[in-house]
Structure 1
């Protein structure tokens, strides 16, 4: 078959590679001048630092097949992600761990003592947390909530934490040991030369043709046996029902000499600090050494029509509109919506790759059986 993939990010690259290896002809188009989507990396000309152009991407997974997949296309270096936060004129490590608890409260608690102490700080009158705020108050109490969650969340989501569902904070990261590794997955690392060369290697197959700076024309769908679309779901239908809500990010890039902040990510929990965090990109490649440094201040705001969508909001209004777009998609033949934007879900890279592998295999099964591929391999609802 001749298959079109819209988007040269992880979803398009992985699906395209899987289908090309089975003999299908693959055409990939992307409106940007580079491959990799938001995972795109490039070296800064002046400093030599590997920059995560659209913000940092840390690879972490418990999925051994996905780990073996990415490491077959790129050499990965070990990387442990550690995040600090500046709050109330002090610096703490995240996620909240035993050191954070002892430092914040000026104590020397052991794990069992810290558990018991934190329970005395929690609002135990909240038995069924319904909002983000209630969830935080129930499990860590008002002092931790004010210091680490309230201001940061208001900046990140542009609304009160009382308006956000408790599910966002269901797995509250509190550790009663001194482990400050931000992620807990078995496999963690960074591609030695960045994500863009890794995705180039995935796309390096004679059955794959890539066209950059090329916008998708829905009228061209009839030229292909099937289309996989990883752009915005509402955008495919020209926003005819309205726009799904997203948050976007503005990056204020600056350079310096030496080590600017001593860590890869410094969050800013206070509401009166306008940015949510500063990322220092040379710390994402700790095996390299550079005299200069490249940093980004990140500002979160509502996503406008001309902005890059980052975080789907998925509150009640958006879910209702999403259901209407899903119905439209399911009535559209020969197209499958994939990835973060195509399914209006926040996806880590490993989940994106897992779903792409599964989607490609599902397509191959349908092709063998002569049956129709559904609009969604995994329902966005």
Structure 2
């Protein structure tokens, strides 16, 4: 398993339970990948070192799986945003609409009100901006989407596909729970403790700060690779585009912002959001507080890749790497980086469980394991 994040841990555990000897290698000094959590030595706050991760899913099997390795506490993600000198709740809901427009609308009235502001001349939205204008109108788009999107993606919303905003989160009630899945929560001891338990099996050996080359990988029966797909091939065709994040840490005595996540919609505010990490564990009590300002920018060769861009040029390059990958033997590309797709944690685990099942079937049938169990294109 190249990578000690969710993909490598879940696949490795399932195969280890079936008698396979598993070697997990990761270049970082810790397990957990970008889900890594650790205690801040100054305050005792449990910190999501690579940005917050909130578990939410409708998949009962995945929910049962993570609860096997961790105690999950109830947690609802209630995001706020500061824009134009005021604070609003996200996703856009009835309270947001009434507050923003100075109204006291009921649900049916609010729906008609927003429909009247929508640009109905746009019949087939092709860009992010057209999608927003078509469904919420210019006022809400400019306040809540335009500036944040420019900062997050480093380009105009007119250059982004409408698919990014296909499921526009607008609610005509007062529900401010950011997610809509049945199961939502946080592991009481953090994600790293959960992943450590997944990896805790006599058939699993973990090596940290260990790099894996294609030559070294040839010594194994099969490799499950959850690193960047272009990195497996030493970037011979060029680098796939990502956005990365810079985190500016600061601490505070007391409560800085009163919520876990505060977005900043104004384009002249350089950060996209501030996260206050003690609010991700409301069952704990801490006098001090740890916060991070997040800044999004283009990902360089030495940066941690976060968000795959997947524009036309990137998809074209991806197709070339996928062709190379499918010509490889005894390697399966998994996870967010291995398939160059943005994946929530529950989807990552679902695909890992399915990938492990596919490998066990292939071994049992004497067949070949494909390079991908999910088409990345």
**Superposition deviation, residue 269 in structure 1:** 0.1
Deviation at 1:297, TM superposition (A): 0.1
Cα distance, 1:329 vs. partner?
0.2
Give the counterpart of 2:62 among 63, 66, 74.
Answer: 66
Task: Give me the whole-angstrom Cα distance separating, in 2, the residues matched to 1:259 and 1:181.
Answer: 21
Structure 2 CA distance for aligned equivalents of residues 218 and 129 of structure 1: 43
Contact 2:77 2:177 in 1 (8 A): yes
Q: Alpha carbon RMSD of aligned pairs, Å?
A: 0.4
In structure 2, the residue matched to 1:144 is: 140
Counterpart in 1 of 2:238? Answer: 242
Q: Measure, in 1, the Cα distance between the counterparts of 2:166 and 2:51.
A: 25
Which structure 2 residues correspond to residues 18-29 of structure 1 after superposition, within 5 A?
A: 18-29=14-25
- Written as runs of structure 1 = structure 2, the 5 A alignment for 1:272-283 is 272-283=268-279
Alignment of 1:330-341 (within 5 A): 330-341=326-337
For 1:252, the equivalent position in structure 2 comes to 248
Mapped to 1, the partners of 2:127 and 2:251 lie a distance apart of 39
Runs of 4+ in 1 over 6 A off after TM superposition: none
Q: How far apart, CA to CA, are the structure 2 residues paired with 1:142 and 1:292?
A: 40
- Aligned equivalent of 1:128, options 117, 124, 127: 124
Match of 2:291 in 1: 295
What is the correspondence of 1:338-349 to structure 2 with a 5 Å cutoff? 338-349=334-345
Pairing 1:56–2:52 present: yes
Cα displacement (A) at 1:46: 1.1
- 5+ residue gaps, structure 1: none
Whether 1:201 aligns to 2:189 is no
Deviation at 1:361, TM superposition (A): 0.2
Query: Is the partner of 1:321 in helix, strand or coil?
Result: helix
Partner Cα distance (2:200, 2:125) in 1? 49
Q: What per-residue deviation string (whole Å, max 9, x for no partner) do you get for residues 317-338 of structure 1?
A: 0000000000000001000000
SS of residue in 2 equivalent to 1:234: helix
Q: TM-score, normalization: structure 2? A: 1.00
TM-score, scaled to structure 1: 0.99
Q: Among residues 185, 189, 210, which one is paired with 1:189 in the alignment?
A: 185
Q: Give the deviation of 1:345 after TM superposition.
A: 0.1
Shift of 1:221: 2.2
Pair 1:352-2:343 in alignment: no
State the match for 1:285 in structure 2.
281
Count of residue pairs brought into register by the alignment: 377
Instruction: Note the C-alpha offset of 1:218.
Output: 1.3
Alignment partner of 1:117 is 2:113: yes
1:150-199: per-residue Cα shift (whole Å, max 9, x none)?
00000000000000000000000000000000000000000001000000
SS where residue 354 of structure 1 aligns?
Answer: helix
Conserved 8 A contact 2:213-2:232: no
What stretches of structure 2 of length at least 5 have no aligned partner?
none
